Amino acid sequence: MTTRRTAPRFRSPVWWPLAGILLLVLINIAYELAHKPGVFPEFLRVTWQDGHFFGMPVDIFNEGSRCLVLALGMTLVIATGGIDLSVGSVMAIAGSVAAVLLRQGDSLALVLGAALAVSLLCGLANGVLVAGARVQPIVATLILMVAGRGIAQLITNGDVIIIDRGSFAFLGNGFVLGVPFAPLLVALLYLGAGALLRRSALGLFIEALGDNETASRFAGLASARVKLCVYAACGFGAGVAGLLAASNIRAADSYRAGENMELDAIFAVVVGGTALSGGRFTLLGSFVGAVLLQTLTTTMYNLGVPPAVAPVPKAVLIITVCLFQSETTRRWLAARWRRPAPAPA
Amino acid sequence: MKPALQRRLPLFVTAGIFLLLFAIAGVSYKHFCSTRNVVNLFTDNASLGIIAVGMTLVIFTGGIDLSVGAVAGFTTIFTASLITNHGVAPPVAALAALALGAGYGALMGVFIQVFRQPPFLVTLAGMFFARGCAYCVGTQSTDIPDPLYQVLSEYELPLTAKVGIPLPGLIFMAVFIFGYLLAHHTRYGRNLLAIGGNEQSALLMGLPVGAAKIGVYTLCSALAALAGLVNTLYTTSGNPNFGIGLELDAIAVVVIGGTLLTGGRGHLFGTLFGLLILGTIRNALYFDGTLSPFWGSIVVGLLLLGFILLQRLLLRRTRAA
Amino acid sequence: MNATADSPPPLLALRGIVKKFTGVTALTGVDFTVRAGEIHALLGENGAGKSTLIKVLTGVYPPDGGEMRLAGAAIRPRSPKDAETLGISTVYQEVNLIPTLSVAENIGLGRQRSFLGLLNWRALRRHAREALARLDLECDVDAELGALPLAWQQMVAIARALDLRAKLLVLDEPTASLDEKEVAELFRIMRRLRAEGLGIVFVTHFLDQVYAVSDRITILRNGELVGEYPAAELPRLALVSKMLGREVRDEEGRTTRDEPAAKAVEPSAAPLLEVRNLGRRGALHSLNFALRAGEVTGLAGLLGSGRTETARLLFGIDRADSGDISVRGAPVRFASPRQAIRHGLAFCSEDRKTEGILPNLSVRENIIFALQAKRGAWRILARAEQDRLAAHYIQALRIKTPGPEVPVKNLSGGNQQKVLLARWLATQPALIILDEPTRGIDVGAKAEIEQLIAKLRGEGLAVLFISSEIEEVVRTSTRVIVLRERRWAAELAGAEIELPRLLRLMAGGSAA
């Protein structure tokens, strides 16, 4: 994670999703005060119950933990100028592997290790296609996206396997000192990744690769190796997300696990301020972006909007963000405020 | 190898694979080669086929449209709702749905062309939006008890004494022929390929790039709406959940058919064979009963991998020339 | 080609063309005349304004001043398509056609004949064959354009250009990637078109070719017209002097503007890098030379002589088709820049925008990047060390920047160049290849760079110095290799390095 701020004109890009969250919070408060005047807004209320924190803010971080961890790996892949569409399917695979092994009675350590190893392999497979065979990232990861779901179903033989191992269920449902485990784990992953990227030169390499791949290679960067790393990391993250998801519902649903989550992850990254074309990235931005996304979903729920309709505001949000990032919009706005247009090259 | 042959190599490979798969299935399963089953191959996959035609044209330009499944789903519930809950006559409802689909595509096309946004993101947003709107119209499957609909859904164009081709199959064939003629026998179609081949050059050559691109997204969305309509005929109902994942299937069909995702190269017949391959695999798995149906996606994934590597190999050879 | 007083107006007459961009005037009052039935060469070194003039002519840029007349009528093309309709067709070096479509389709794209909207493929093919036949060419019109050799693609482009009843054909660097046979074929077509009354503008930097086929020559320098001359009346040496703006007399005397060559330093006994028979199809023929530590080897030659191509081969960016390279006596084969760097090489590219800077990364990050890449991901340079390096080079090279954390894209071109130089110096290479290191840098900074090169030489570095500014090469080098038309032409050492001799060798042909 880099410490400097990139956007020269709009201050830090992270302010935008933060502002979005603030806006949503205000909307919620306004709605609740209008309908239940005098009562402290449910949306902000955090209480202590059954030995742990309880309330909507807690739910947001709990439910959003899967998207958060996906966004972490996705940020790195997008920063190199690529993309990974297969994370949803890898989630399903990880959940399936875990469920089957748990059913066999294997120890938790073995189960987690195996599931994560398989996910890592999936990521590496993507990396080999992109870095080795020079296949376009969108195409390469599309293959695993399609085949992966079938693989997950094959592993469970099409059944939805119920998981009754308590220790496993802790991942998605447990609490540590009153704080839900899943978001804690994810936060740790973010901090760990940030530290790793800053303590090593990996962060710099990833940004350089996305910024100008030719120049990086001419300067001696082992670009293939870096790409392999980011895709492997993304696969690993998908594995973690898959385990959290399976643990949360106490089942491995190979049909629906991870459905559309790759799109949510991409959305979180883009809204968080990392450009789809690559280069400078911000882990903090992706974190906030994913939280924004989950806040949006929870807002819909709080406002009584049927959950199926939730995608609509998501879409509006993406388009708005894209428009703001668009060169055409900037020129149009600049013309209206009568600033001089840039000269042709 | 003659250059004309080399260019069409992916197409021949796809056709060959289809024939091979079909032959294997025909030998392994009774009644697989029956006329009824072959007709079913077209009918069951009609919606996917129609969407795949539109998707092929978009991919020709080097773009992509992720919203087609959602638009199809929206169309089904929209049409069902209009007919059943608001008493609108089916033809009017159908026209309204098509117009809406076309307009939606045009809107996305404007964002992509005028505002220079990546097609992936724009159509992704389009997918979210359309799916959400579908649920706004109705959250559950809605029947269409309209008498005209019942008649149309049971209609079959007689082919043999016992077997006829239902309307969905006929519509798909008509759309395919239209798509084929458009892509390979009109200026517009060749312009699409030119844009995908090298957009800068196409501009310098004076081709109407902007209009063509907006047009192709309009057409693709309109076809997605048509696919939704066809589905309502097939099921005599509207379902906001219809079409989830259909865009991916369409992309897989197009790529297996030999069309390059980067644009500029491809053939509509490839899409047809890709569709038939997909249909045959699913059909065979159903016939088999013993093989897990999940092998379907895995085989499709493997085919995708194979074709992409083949494409890269061919590309490398032509570049070396 | 008669020039009587009442001959018809020239085919193309540009008068007083002015073109400004913010901060820079690309063209100041340029005149350009082309007659029907004539091949007219347009020459000039980098930054002379050739490509700007062509872009104005073909409608890409509107001129800020001056007038354009085609066959006597005033014109003002607003786009390439507009220019095409007027009768001005252009074929670019990159061949702006669609590589994934067939030859026939490319020739007919946008103008196909159709019946009820459906294309007539047979007519399209026939039409394409006829268009090619007009140039005495024949090929499989169904072949994919991208699969054909570049020379053929260019001819297809010409066939398409002519198809539109072009009056004026502009060929922008058409021979850059062609071999001799293909060039001869192109010339045959050009002469045929000339005989048919077409006017042809031939933009190139290959002097042999200019003399082989052109009737008249127009020379631009620094955005101004130097002059227009019949080819037969302008000897090579005079041509080159006018292009470079250098006064060159023959062997009798040297001008006062010449600088004495850098004093020769005792070169180390064994060469650091040796090249034997190095070549690459379409880029270089059979080079032989050696680079030594403590020596600055200048690589001189006109635009297109193969200097950058040589550098790319040395650094592992391109693969050689023939010959070999050895470093410190051991043969090497660099498959990538990374390997070259590991052997102690460094390469400061001339195209800093696409091959040099990491635009959104900071000055500091750009400076330490190659060094960090060499060390790998885990042996990270401590931040304090990075700051020290950045500060050191910012000061040593006088890089004008608000600070080391500013994105490098905000710096001026010259300062970006210095950042790149710093990047390579930070890796402490044994051999550094500098390709146009002073391009776009102000005079004061140029002198600094030259002093730096001298200092590096003194420290035992081997330097390969490529520059279009001949005086710079003369001033800085202890040995000069002259390339001409992608071949080794000569090698000068020590006192032999003087400006007039260099120019003569670069120009080639007979000395008179």
Longest dimension (CA), chain C: 80
Q: In A98-168, where do the E strands start and end?
A: 161-162
C85-118 residue pLDDT tens: 888 988 887 778 999 999 999 999 888 877 887 8
- Residue A5, chain C, CB below 8 Å: the answer is no
ipTM confidence score: 0.86
Of A85-94, B80-89, C400-409, where does the model show the most confidence?
A: A85-94
Domains of chain B, CATH where assigned: 41-320 (1.10.3470)
For residue B36, the distance in angstroms to the closest alpha carbon of chain A comes to: 28
pLDDT at C253: 37
CB pairs under 8 A between B and C: 79
Shared domain check, C295 and C205: no
- Beta strands C168-172 and C199-203: pairing type? parallel
- Residue A135: list chain B partners with CB under 8 A: 308-309, 312
Give ∠ CA C411-C415-C420 in degrees, rounded to 5.
105
Average pLDDT on C150-154 reads 84
User: Under a CB-based contact definition with an 8 Å cutoff, are residues B41 and B34 in contact?
Assistant: no
pLDDT at A328: 67
Specify the 3-state DSSP secondary structure of A46: strand
For residue B191, the distance in angstroms to the closest alpha carbon of chain C comes to: 7
Higher pLDDT, B154 or B105: B105
Q: Which two tokens stand for residue A138?
A: 């969108």
Specify the 3-state DSSP secondary structure of B142: strand
pLDDT at B319: 52
pLDDT at B281: 85
Residue B117 in this model has a pLDDT that exceeds 50: yes
Domain that holds residue C115: 12-244
How far are the Cα atoms of B51, C11, C115, C172, C313 from residue C166, in angstroms, in the given order? 43, 12, 26, 16, 40
Shared domain check, C216 and C121: yes
Amino acid at C456: L
Element (H, E) at A251: strand A251-252
A172-226 residue pLDDT tens: 888 888 889 999 999 999 999 999 998 999 999 999 999 999 999 999 999 999 9
pLDDT > 90 in chain B, percent: 46
Question: Distance between CA atoms of B21 and B28, rounded to whole angstroms?
Answer: 10
Question: Distance between CA atoms of C68 and C205, rounded to whole angstroms?
Answer: 25
Q: Which two tokens stand for residue C450?
A: 């030259």
Question: Distance between CA atoms of C98 and C102, rounded to whole angstroms?
Answer: 8
Examine residue C355 and state whether it is found in any structural domain, yes or no. Answer: no
Question: Distance between CA atoms of A2 and A8, rounded to whole angstroms?
Answer: 15
Q: For the ranges A212-226, B33-47, B52-66, which has the lowest average pLDDT?
A: B33-47
Residue C247 in this model has a pLDDT that exceeds 90: no
Shared domain check, C375 and C331: no
Average pLDDT on A45-53 reads 83
Query: Who's near B238: CB < 8 A, 6+ residues apart?
Result: B76, B77, B78, B79, B80, B81, B138, B141, B142, B144, B232
Confidence of residue A2 (pLDDT cuts 50, 70, 90): very low
pLDDT at B321: 37
Q: What is the mean pLDDT of chain C?
A: 85
**Cα nearest neighbour of A4 on chain C:** C405
- Residue B186, chain C, CB below 8 Å: the answer is yes
For residue C489, the distance in angstroms to the closest alpha carbon of chain B comes to: 30
- Residue B296: list chain A partners with CB under 8 A: 150
Shared domain check, C215 and C75: yes
- Which among B114, B122, B302 is the nearest to A328, CB-wise? B114
Residue B65 in this model has a pLDDT that exceeds 90: yes
C286-333 residue pLDDT tens: 899 999 998 999 999 887 788 888 999 999 998 888 989 999 889 999
Q: What is the mean pLDDT of chain A?
A: 86
- Which among C81, C100, C140 is the nearest to B197, CB-wise? C100
What part of C 7-46 touches A (C-beta under 8 Å)? 21-23
Which pTM was predicted? 0.83
Shared domain check, C191 and C108: yes
Residue A123 in this model has a pLDDT that exceeds 50: yes
Q: For the ranges A201-210, B152-161, C249-258, C469-478, which has the lowest average pLDDT?
A: C249-258
Q: For chain C, what is the domain count? A: 3
Residue C251 in this model has a pLDDT that exceeds 60: no
- Residue C361, chain A, CB below 8 Å: the answer is yes
Q: Which two tokens stand for residue A47?
A: 């209480």
> Is the Cβ pair B293, A158 closer than 8 Å?
yes
pLDDT at C316: 92
pLDDT at A342: 46
B17-38 residue pLDDT tens: 888 888 888 888 877 888 888 8
- Beta strands C88-91 and C73-75: pairing type? unpaired
Confidence of residue A332 (pLDDT cuts 50, 70, 90): confident
Q: Which two tokens stand for residue A57?
A: 């803010």
User: Under a CB-based contact definition with an 8 Å cutoff, are residues A272 and A288 in contact?
Assistant: yes
User: Under a CB-based contact definition with an 8 Å cutoff, are residues B43 and B279 in contact?
Assistant: no
Give ∠ CA B228-B231-B233 in degrees, rounded to 5.
120
For residue A33, the distance in angstroms to the closest alpha carbon of chain B comes to: 26
pLDDT at A330: 67
Examine residue C353 and state whether it is found in any structural domain, yes or no. Answer: no
Query: Who's near B43: CB < 8 A, 6+ residues apart?
Result: B165, B166, B168, B169, B172, B234
Shared domain check, C499 and C447: yes
> Is the Cβ pair B300, A318 closer than 8 Å?
no
Helices (H), A176-310: 181-199, 202-211, 213-218, 223-249, 261-271, 283-302
Shared domain check, C149 and C22: yes
- Residue C21: list chain A partners with CB under 8 A: 343-344
Examine residue C1 and state whether it is found in any structural domain, yes or no. Answer: no
Shared domain check, C337 and C303: yes
How far are the Cα atoms of A344, B109, C122 from residue C136, in angstroms, in the given order? 41, 44, 21
Residue C447 in this model has a pLDDT that exceeds 60: yes
Boundary of a domain, candidates C204, C227, C244: C244
Boundary of a domain, candidates C392, C407, C427: C427
- Residue B301: list chain A partners with CB under 8 A: 143-144, 146-148, 150
Shared domain check, C291 and C212: no
> Is the Cβ pair C360, A280 closer than 8 Å?
yes
Residue A79 in this model has a pLDDT that exceeds 90: yes
Confidence of residue B317 (pLDDT cuts 50, 70, 90): low
Residue C56 in this model has a pLDDT that exceeds 70: yes
- Residue A145, chain B, CB below 8 Å: the answer is yes
Question: Distance between CA atoms of B184 and B278, rounded to whole angstroms?
Answer: 24
Examine residue C406 and state whether it is found in any structural domain, yes or no. Answer: yes
Examine residue C7 and state whether it is found in any structural domain, yes or no. Answer: no
- Residue C118: list chain B partners with CB under 8 A: 181, 185-186
Q: In C231-364, where do the E strands start and end?
A: 273-280, 284-291, 296-300, 322-327, 330-332, 345-348
A226-252 residue pLDDT tens: 999 999 999 999 999 999 999 999 999
pLDDT at C218: 94
Boundary of a domain, candidates C227, C244, C261: C244
How far are the Cα atoms of A208, C46, C431 from residue C468, in angstroms, in the given order? 30, 8, 20
Residue B64 in this model has a pLDDT that exceeds 90: yes
Examine residue C210 and state whether it is found in any structural domain, yes or no. Answer: yes
Examine residue C4 and state whether it is found in any structural domain, yes or no. Answer: no
Confidence of residue C219 (pLDDT cuts 50, 70, 90): very high
Question: Distance between CA atoms of A279 and C173, rounded to whole angstroms?
Answer: 35
A146-163 residue pLDDT tens: 889 889 988 988 888 898
Shared domain check, C376 and C449: no
Residue A322 in this model has a pLDDT that exceeds 90: no
For residue B106, the distance in angstroms to the closest alpha carbon of chain C comes to: 23
Longest dimension (CA), chain A: 70
A286-303 residue pLDDT tens: 999 999 999 988 888 888
Question: Distance between CA atoms of A127 and A43, rounded to whole angstroms?
Answer: 42
CATH number at residue C111: 3.40.50.300
Shared domain check, C235 and C167: yes
Q: For the ranges A99-103, B168-172, C399-403, which has the lowest average pLDDT?
A: C399-403
Question: Distance between CA atoms of A75 and B51, rounded to whole angstroms?
Answer: 31
Specify the 3-state DSSP secondary structure of B37: helix
Residue C3 in this model has a pLDDT that exceeds 60: no
- Residue C116: list chain B partners with CB under 8 A: none
Specify the 3-state DSSP secondary structure of C269: coil
- Residue A157, chain B, CB below 8 Å: the answer is yes
- Residue A34, chain B, CB below 8 Å: the answer is no
Of A318-332, C318-332, C443-457, where does the model show the most confidence?
A: C318-332
- State the virtual CA torsion across C154, C156, C159, C164 in degrees, nearest 10: -100
Shared domain check, C317 and C172: no
Rama region for C117: left / alpha / beta (φ>0; ψ in -120 to 50; rest): left
pLDDT at C446: 76
For residue B17, the distance in angstroms to the closest alpha carbon of chain C comes to: 24
Examine residue C510 and state whether it is found in any structural domain, yes or no. Answer: yes
